[in-house]
Amino acid sequence: MTKGKFIVIEGVEGAGKSHQCKRLLEGLTAMGVDAILTREPGGAALAEGIRKLLLDPEYSPDAVTELYLYSAARRDHLNKVIFPALDSGKVVVCDRFTFSTFAYQGYGRGLDIDFVNRVNAKTIAPLKIDLGLFLDITPEDGFTRKGGADKTDRLERESLDFFNRVYKGFKELCARGELVPIDASGEKTRTAENILREVRKIL
Ligand code: Z5A
């Protein structure tokens, strides 16, 4: 359906996603590839509004409400940013996507996995994800790297047990071949090189 390529970078908190997404965009641009960087939740005006609600500790949505809010933000993001960019032949690098919904709302919150998969599939149709990368670092190491959890962020108030379940969800996606694991425990340049090696394979 689309002419461009859609690349997702996933990981737990502090894995280095934001840093590596920026480096990947720089790498692609240096190679002469027309690429954009975006993120979830957010990436478009309405979606950014939903992001604020989702991360605000003042609210306490249940897991199903959370799932639908992430999905509503995603559909807006697709319509306003991702589909138009892919249609014009761009490479889109996205910081988190449906794999996060699988890991956080499915494994973390314990929602039925088939339900999560169905909502994800309906939300993104007819998008095809060309590459999903998982920056592999444990939640403990991720939080240590960040200097601890940000308690003004609703999700970062969750227990380590929650984040360990999320990590297990991501590992399950790697085992199924839906995500390609990248060791993210080493130094930044090494991780960036490993990411670029995987990305070159699909360009
Ligand atoms: N969420 C969800 O539940 N369901 C969904 O469907 C989606 C998301 C899409 C979004 O938070 C929250 O939404 C997130 C999942 C949930 N919840 N939580 N908790 P966000 O976007 O605000 O947060 P994040 O994605 O977790 O970002 P983060 O915590 O900033 O992590 P990061 O982007 O992976 O890390 P970073 O900012 O690139 O790096 C963190 C620090 O480590 C920084 O100082 C770096 O310079 C440093 N760093 C990075 N790499 C290295 C290496 N290799 N060595 C040493 N230091 C490093």
Atom of ligand 1 nearest to the CA of 186: 53
pLDDT for res 2: 55
Indicate whether residue 22 lines ligand 1 (CB < 6 A): no
> CA 123, 112, 15, 31: dihedral to nearest 10 degrees?
-30
Q: Ligand 1 center to residue 142 CA distance, Å?
A: 8
Among 120, 101, 110, 119, residue whose Cα is nearest residue 162: 110
| Top mutation candidate among 9, 19, 76, 195 for ligand 1, by most atoms within 8 Å of CB | 19
Where helices occur in the chain by DSSP H, the ranges are 17-30, 45-55, 63-77, 83-87, 98-100, 113-124, 139-146, 160-175, 188-202
* Tens-digit pLDDT profile for residues 98-157: 999 999 999 999 999 999 999 999 999 999 999 999 999 999 999 999 888 888 888 778
Indicate whether residue 101 lines ligand 1 (CB < 6 A): yes
Indicate whether residue 13 lines ligand 1 (CB < 6 A): yes
Atom of ligand 1 nearest to the CA of 12: 26
Using a cut of 0.75, tell me whether the model's pTM lies above it: yes
Q: In this structure, are residues 82 and 1 in contact, taking their beta carbons and an 8 Å threshold?
A: no
* Tens-digit pLDDT profile for residues 1-44: 458 999 999 999 999 999 999 999 999 999 999 999 999 999 99
Among 94, 78, 97, 81, residue whose Cα is nearest residue 24: 94
